[in-house]
Chain A
Amino acid sequence: MKSYILKRILSLIPVLLIVSIVVFMIIHLTPGDPAAVILGPEASHEDVKQLQEELGLNDPVYQQYFHWVEGVFQGNLGDSFFMDKPVTEAILEHLGPTISLAILSQITAILIALPLGIMAARKRGTATDQTFMGLSLLGISIPHFLFGLFLIIILAINLRWLPVAGYKPLSAGFWEHIKYLIMPAIALGTGQAALIARMTRSSMVETLNLNFIKTARSKGLHERKVIYKHTLRNAFIPILTVIGQTFGTLVAGAAVTETVFNIPGIGQLIINSVERRDYMVIQGTVLMVTLTYVLINLLVDLLYGVIDPRVRLKKES
């Protein structure tokens, strides 16, 4: 087990290296630079050039890269050109909204997905099943941000139940905090719910066909007990995997939705930083996001092993 974890962690190194090189290359291929953005629309060309020089933007790219990597190994992601603070601080400030949103979306997703998936599995083959699965496919087919826009038109503009967009931290009060996150959480959660529901259904169906469930039934066990105690528990591993993966994508894949709802999270930080050409922030954030993403996947894989020894054995061999 230990050597497996170690191997997995070591295998992250080339991934991160490639990610950082790709990001660096993309950034420096991009026209425009932070100096011009800082000085504003009416600044003269000479001033911009001077600031570029002073910010070290005219050094050769590989030199800038090594300089940056050196910093990363010392735990220093550099300073933002735009925000007068270290990149790590900027990331931490944008992490709160993203995590709140991710958790709330995931709760929404699970609340919708599990009951639907279980229902569909129990009534497999019937019209209910087809309807549910058709619905879940619809859920996958609606882009999150588009669903968000529809929610805004209905819930915020026509019914005026919820604020159009924006964000209040938890310190502004629980309800204030939640109020702004309801629509984005539904928008994101529904898509995730569809994925989880489909996995729940197929995993449940597979388990329901297994002999021990048939035995349990034939023993005259209560259907409820069969479903929730025996089947769900045994069908849970793949479901957990999907939940884990969707959570991973929520951390940064929600960028467009964050933009629609003006939530100052990680996704928006990256998009804004691309707009501002805040190189250091882009590099640092992408590195962090990638790391989180692969770590969550690793964690899910490991959990897998903890819950189901068969998996562990297979992987080790």
Chain B
Amino acid sequence: MTKRFKKLSWLITCLLLLSMALIGCSSDSDKQTKSASGEAVTKKGGDLHVAIDAQPPTLDPQISTTTATKEIARHIFETLLVLNPDYEVQPMLAESYDVSEDGLTYTFKLRQGVKFHNGKEMTAEDVVASMNRWLTKSTRAANAIGKGQFEEVDKYTVQLKIEKPTIGVLDVIASTNQFAGIMPKEIIDNAPKDGITEIVGTGPFKFVEWKPDQYIKVAKYDDYKPVDAPSDGLAGKKEALVDNIIFEVVTDGSTRLGGITTGQYQIAYQIPSDNYEQISSSSDMKPILNLYGGLSFVFNKKQGPFTDEKLRQAVNTGINNKDVLIGAFGNKKFYRLDNGLMYKDQKKWYTDAGKEYYNQNDKEKAKQLLSESGYKGEEIRILTTRDYEYSYNSAVVMKEELEKIGIKVKLDVVDWATLTSKRNDPAAWDAFITGFSPVSLPTQTLPLDPNYAGWPADEKLQQFTEQIRTAASDKDAYAKWEEMQEYAWKEYVPYIKIGDYYTFHVYRNNEIKGNTYFEGMILWNTSLTK
């Protein structure tokens, strides 16, 4: 070896040693902060790092039904009404509300002195502009409210007039997905069609910066005026206790897990369920299990083999729901066998009507039904995507299950964007698998909507929907809903709710406190501890 070469290799060795030493140092210091944070002391301010699993397409809560949009936008925008953890309607930007005797006029008194992040005071004109825009954007709103319109009464009062009385108007206004965030009128007037460009709301955090595919930063809004009521879910007092929240877009599950384990983030959304045991056995991390929705197998009832009711019944009779759920979610903490099309947690609407038709796992009876049906051995195309791993995994198990009862299956695995457009074409698929998040009214259940992919244009179903919508009382509506659900399981089978599923978020319990969860993470009243 020549001298020069020796020198070079020395240099490389030194560099390597140096870098190793640096690595060593950094992990040492990690350990130190861990031990030092043993006793939790609340700290004012600081930055909260949150790893979110997907980049939102927009921060405009009124136009997108995406979860990522909701999760971030709820810290920036507020609604007239909100839900508490028992799904009860509470006032937020409205100080009070009132429904007329005939059920046709809803009056909202606004809180005074609420300021937008741009310094302008929120008044009736902003609320009217926001709410009317939302009515045109949200299908659910249009569904429940129909052709209703908001009008300004005076500077701090607005009124909603609807054509015929219906249940659930207030629940829809308070709903959390594609929510009715209030924003300044000028911004709405200038908004392009694919969403507002200026993110200005009234919430405890104001929008600062969005670096695509990297992070979205929101900061404490100093002039925020909390409502004078104890904090309860989305309702009550909100206070920003950290200076900034940085939502880091980390699309890969194992990266989020790695980051939360090493303390790079204080909160990580949607950790792969196989890591649940690892997290729950750790002393500095806590999992938050949350109901995400119902895993559902949606039939195409407009075209193809599944237009045959008997065939749909055969599938429902034959499958082992539990196996599908294990395949999709693994750990039994992550699924719940339950046939309620409204969820068990939604006490007001939950019913187990038709449960004898759920999870029968009766292959013989299924074969019987199959032979009675018009099925002639056609290949069933199940549309699924790997962008949502549970959808794909459950499709794989469903394929197995269907083949056991003698139905031929082909999986059509596409990416999410393709799936959303393909499912609108009745000729392109026979069934698809997706999750449906909870909705506030049974009439908003998407797979029961005759216009939604799958097209359950069944007269009887529509009758039920209409009866629930115009029921004289909540009790009558509930009774009708029980009947409707029974009918859905027993006869028509528009889709199979395979089961409820949960996802889990993780937070570092020795670094933050006060964070709660209701249909999404709530990060106000959350502080760093040190």
> A residues bordering B, Cβ < 8 Å?
30-48, 51, 54-55, 80-85, 90, 93-94, 111, 115, 152, 156-157, 160-167, 175, 179, 182, 223-224, 227-228, 259-262, 264, 268-269, 272, 275-277
Q: A42-B437, A163-B259, A179-B26 are in contact. Are A37 and B2 (CB under 8 A)?
A: no
Q: How far is the CB of B417 from chain A (nearest CB, A)?
A: 3
* Residue contact A81 to B194, C-beta cutoff 8 Å: yes
Contact of A47 among B3, B137, B211, B249 (CB under 8 A): B137
Contact of B23 among A37, A43, A162, A227 (CB under 8 A): A162
Contact of A262 among B26, B55, B251 (CB under 8 A): B251
Q: A40-B65, A43-B139, A83-B212 are in contact. Are A33 and B194 (CB under 8 A)?
A: no
Contact of B415 among A34, A166, A262, A275 (CB under 8 A): A275
* Residue contact A32 to B421, C-beta cutoff 8 Å: yes
Q: A38-B64, A163-B258 are in contact. Are A224 and B4 (CB under 8 A)?
A: yes
User: Contacts of A43 on B, CB cut-off 8 Å?
Assistant: 64-65, 139
* Residue contact B421 to A40, C-beta cutoff 8 Å: no
Q: A32-B421, A44-B451, A45-B453 are in contact. Are A38 and B194 (CB under 8 A)?
A: yes
* Residue contact B194 to A51, C-beta cutoff 8 Å: yes
Contact of A41 among B27, B197, B434 (CB under 8 A): B434
Q: List 25 A-B contacts (CB under 8 A).
A: A33-B417, A34-B194, A36-B417, A37-B57, A37-B416, A38-B57, A38-B63, A38-B64, A39-B63, A42-B65, A42-B436, A43-B65, A55-B193, A82-B57, A90-B212, A94-B212, A163-B262, A163-B264, A164-B262, A182-B19, A259-B252, A262-B251, A264-B211, A264-B214, A264-B249
Rounded to whole angstroms, the CA-CA distance of A224 and B5 in the bound complex is: 9
User: Contacts of B214 on A, CB cut-off 8 Å?
Assistant: 93, 167, 264
Answer whether residue B14 sits at the interface, using C-beta atoms and an 8 A cutoff: no
* Residue contact B213 to A264, C-beta cutoff 8 Å: yes
Output the nearest chain A residue to B251 by Cβ-Cβ distance: A262
Q: How far is the CB of A159 from chain B (nearest CB, A)?
A: 9
* Residue contact B64 to A40, C-beta cutoff 8 Å: yes
Q: A40-B69, A162-B23, A165-B255 are in contact. Are A276 and B193 (CB under 8 A)?
A: no
The interface on chain B, measured as residues whose beta carbon lies within 8 A of the other chain's beta carbons, has a size of 63
Output the residue of A31, A83, A175, A269 with the most chain B CB within 10 A: A31
Q: Contact string, B401-427, partner A, CB cutoff 8 A, digits 1/0? A: 000000000000011111111101000
Rounded to whole angstroms, the CA-CA distance of A262 and B12 in the bound complex is: 28
Rounded to whole angstroms, the CA-CA distance of A260 and B2 in the bound complex is: 40
Q: How far is the CB of B330 from chain A (nearest CB, A)?
A: 19
User: Contacts of A228 on B, CB cut-off 8 Å?
Assistant: 4
Contact of B258 among A90, A156, A264 (CB under 8 A): A156
Q: A38-B58, A84-B197, A166-B255 are in contact. Are A31 and B421 (CB under 8 A)?
A: yes
User: Contacts of A160 on B, CB cut-off 8 Å?
Assistant: 27, 262
Answer whether residue B452 sits at the interface, using C-beta atoms and an 8 A cutoff: yes
User: Contacts of B417 on A, CB cut-off 8 Å?
Assistant: 31-33, 36-37, 275-277
User: Contacts of A261 on B, CB cut-off 8 Å?
Assistant: 255
Q: How far is the CB of B124 from chain A (nearest CB, A)?
A: 27
Q: Contact string, B244-274, partner A, CB cutoff 8 A, digits 1/0? A: 0000111110110111001010000000000
* Residue contact A51 to B193, C-beta cutoff 8 Å: yes
Output the residue of A37, A157, A182 with the most chain B CB within 10 A: A37
Contact of A45 among B63, B65, B424 (CB under 8 A): B424
* Residue contact B8 to A164, C-beta cutoff 8 Å: no
* Residue contact B453 to A31, C-beta cutoff 8 Å: no
* Residue contact A32 to B420, C-beta cutoff 8 Å: yes
* Residue contact A269 to B194, C-beta cutoff 8 Å: no
User: Contacts of B414 on A, CB cut-off 8 Å?
Assistant: 31
Output the residue of A44, A94, A179 with the most chain B CB within 10 A: A44
Output the nearest chain A residue to B8 by Cβ-Cβ distance: A115
User: Contacts of B419 on A, CB cut-off 8 Å?
Assistant: 32
* Residue contact B26 to A94, C-beta cutoff 8 Å: no
Q: How far is the CB of B246 from chain A (nearest CB, A)?
A: 11
Q: How far is the CB of B394 from chain A (nearest CB, A)?
A: 16
Answer whether residue B316 sits at the interface, using C-beta atoms and an 8 A cutoff: no
* Residue contact B2 to A224, C-beta cutoff 8 Å: yes
User: Contacts of A115 on B, CB cut-off 8 Å?
Assistant: 5, 8-9
User: Contacts of A83 on B, CB cut-off 8 Å?
Assistant: 210, 212
Rounded to whole angstroms, the CA-CA distance of A81 and B194 in the bound complex is: 7
* Residue contact B177 to A42, C-beta cutoff 8 Å: yes
Q: How far is the CB of B10 from chain A (nearest CB, A)?
A: 12
Contact of A39 among B64, B434, B451 (CB under 8 A): B64
Q: How far is the CB of B405 from chain A (nearest CB, A)?
A: 29
Q: How far is the CB of A165 from chain B (nearest CB, A)?
A: 4
* Residue contact B211 to A93, C-beta cutoff 8 Å: yes
Q: A40-B178, A275-B416 are in contact. List 15 more A-B contacts (CB 8 A).
A: A31-B418, A31-B422, A32-B420, A33-B421, A34-B194, A37-B57, A42-B177, A47-B139, A54-B194, A93-B212, A164-B258, A179-B23, A262-B250, A275-B387, A277-B417
Question: Which 10 A-B pairs give the minimum distances between C-beta atoms?
Answer: A164-B258, A40-B65, A32-B417, A40-B66, A54-B193, A165-B255, A42-B65, A36-B420, A224-B2, A44-B139
CB within 8 Å of A: which of B16-57?
19, 22-23, 26-27, 55, 57
User: Contacts of A111 on B, CB cut-off 8 Å?
Assistant: 12
Rounded to whole angstroms, the CA-CA distance of A166 and B268 in the bound complex is: 13
Q: How far is the CB of A77 from chain B (nearest CB, A)?
A: 15
Answer whether residue B195 sits at the interface, using C-beta atoms and an 8 A cutoff: yes
Rounded to whole angstroms, the CA-CA distance of A160 and B262 in the bound complex is: 9
User: Contacts of B193 on A, CB cut-off 8 Å?
Assistant: 51, 54-55
Rounded to whole angstroms, the CA-CA distance of A52 and B358 in the bound complex is: 39
Q: A90-B212, A111-B12 are in contact. Are A41 and B195 (CB under 8 A)?
A: no
* Residue contact A161 to B22, C-beta cutoff 8 Å: no
* Residue contact B57 to A276, C-beta cutoff 8 Å: yes
Answer whether residue B471 sits at the interface, using C-beta atoms and an 8 A cutoff: no
Answer whether residue B162 sits at the interface, using C-beta atoms and an 8 A cutoff: no
* Residue contact B451 to A45, C-beta cutoff 8 Å: yes
Answer whether residue B288 sits at the interface, using C-beta atoms and an 8 A cutoff: no
Rounded to whole angstroms, the CA-CA distance of A140 and B148 in the bound complex is: 66
Answer whether residue B446 sits at the interface, using C-beta atoms and an 8 A cutoff: yes
Q: A32-B417, A262-B250 are in contact. Are A41 and B66 (CB under 8 A)?
A: yes
Q: Contact string, B482-522, partner A, CB cutoff 8 A, digits 1/0? A: 00000000000000000000000000000000000000000
User: Contacts of B66 on A, CB cut-off 8 Å?
Assistant: 40-41
Output the nearest chain A residue to B199 by Cβ-Cβ distance: A84
Output the nearest chain A residue to B22 by Cβ-Cβ distance: A175
* Residue contact B194 to A55, C-beta cutoff 8 Å: yes
Output the nearest chain A residue to B213 by Cβ-Cβ distance: A264
CB within 8 Å of A: which of B425-468?
434, 436-437, 446, 451-453
Q: Contact string, B208-241, partner A, CB cutoff 8 A, digits 1/0? A: 0011111000000000000000000000000000
Q: How far is the CB of B23 from chain A (nearest CB, A)?
A: 5
Contact of A84 among B4, B12, B58, B64 (CB under 8 A): B58
Output the nearest chain A residue to B214 by Cβ-Cβ distance: A264
* Residue contact A42 to B213, C-beta cutoff 8 Å: no
Q: A40-B69, A268-B213 are in contact. Are A166 and B250 (CB under 8 A)?
A: yes
Q: How far is the CB of B46 from chain A (nearest CB, A)?
A: 16
